[in-house]
Amino acid sequence: MNELIRCAADTKVEEIVELVSRDGAIVLEDVIPPALVDRVLDEVMPWVEATPNGVDDFSGRLTTRTGALVARSAACRELVTHPTIVETARRFLAPFCERIQLHLTQIIRIRPGQPAQVVHRDRWAWGTHLDRLEPQLNTIWALSPFTRENGATQVVRGSVDWDDARRPRPEEIGYAELRPGSVLVYTGSVFHGGGENASSADRIGANITYALGWLRQEENQYLSCPPEIARDLDPTLQALLGYALGSYALGYYTPPLPPGEGPEAIGPEHALGRGGHSQQIGEAELYDRLIRRVEAKASANEGDA
């Protein structure tokens, strides 16, 4: 069986990025205290209990998936903005973007009797159209014990470079057994899937994922956490939700106001009451980063000529 590397919560971000890049997934142990786990459960369980089971085999006919966690739970916001996880996501995705964004928030409850999910790649959210880059970094926070018996996530360590059509042999599959408060960190390219729950209790985890700022989000954060809710959040979280430009001139809008009563083009933070009325399509800092990337590629091409 392909066992996952397990790291202490205080492992340096550089080491986490290196291991995740190589293996596709690792476990960080005991990242948050039991009190925060309890707060998350207290805040989300009313919505979880009201969520119906999935309607197909992939989503799980005995699995519930509850979203909009930023809008619904202050405790979940602490998971979304956890410094180690966010910095890991930023560094891991930095080669492919100027800014990262929140891609998905979801409480996944695997109920007794749920068969194992088909092993897949999360990057298939965008089909198989992306190549030669990594679009996302993902987490599953254990809110209950994750065991082989109750549906611990199946993970194929080292499968990041596999062809999309390859299927793992049983001996290539490991299981992310976790204590509550520990977190599975994994890439969009690693093959994985929910495990079979052969126990008599639910397996509950928070799936929180991050993606390149120029891709469409799996969970539409603008609708799940609209401006009237997002405007009271911390600016760092607002930017992760997508209320910031994804790159230079990517994501600006024009408020639909009467003539002369508003800017013609403004960053999305304006919808939250920030950014003033400066009519500037993009951010200078993001433009500078873009130009540096272009110039670096030009220099590399000249060197290869």
Range of the domain at 265: 248-304
Report the pLDDT value the prediction gives residue 73, as an integer from 0 to 100: 98
Q: Are residues 96 and 25 in contact, defined by beta-carbon separation less than 8 angstroms?
A: no
- Is 300 found in the same domain as 179? no
- Is 99 found in the same domain as 192? yes
| pLDDT at residue 295 tops 90 | no
Least-confidence region, from 88-102, 174-188, 255-269:
255-269
| pLDDT at residue 294 tops 90 | no
**Does some domain include residue 231?**
no
Predicted confidence band of residue 29 (pLDDT cuts 50, 70, 90): very high
**Does some domain include residue 281?**
yes
- Is 296 found in the same domain as 169? no
Report the pLDDT value the prediction gives residue 278, as an integer from 0 to 100: 56
**Does some domain include residue 31?**
yes
| Mean pLDDT calculated for residue range 56-65 | 98
Compare 166 and 294 and report the one with higher pLDDT: 166
- The pTM score is 0.93
**Does some domain include residue 110?**
yes
Q: Parallel, antiparallel, or unpaired for β 25-29 and 6-8?
A: parallel
Give the SS3 label for residue 121.
coil
Q: What percent of the chain has pLDDT over 90?
A: 84
| pLDDT at residue 277 tops 60 | no
- Is 282 found in the same domain as 135? no
State both tokens at 159.
């499968």
- Is 125 found in the same domain as 59? yes
**Does some domain include residue 235?**
no
Query: Cβ neighbours of residue 298 under 8 Å, at least 6 residues apart?
Result: none
Report which of 73, 61, 156 is spatially closest to residue 110, judged by C-alpha positions.
61
Alpha-carbon span 117 to 6, nearest angstrom: 23
Query: Cβ neighbours of residue 144 under 8 Å, at least 6 residues apart?
Result: 150, 180, 201, 202, 203, 204, 205
Predicted confidence band of residue 132 (pLDDT cuts 50, 70, 90): confident
- Is 218 found in the same domain as 255? no
* Count of structural domains within the chain: 2
- Is 172 found in the same domain as 295? no
The strands making up 174-176's β-sheet, listed across from edge to edge, are 174-176, 153-155, 192-193
- Is 295 found in the same domain as 212? no
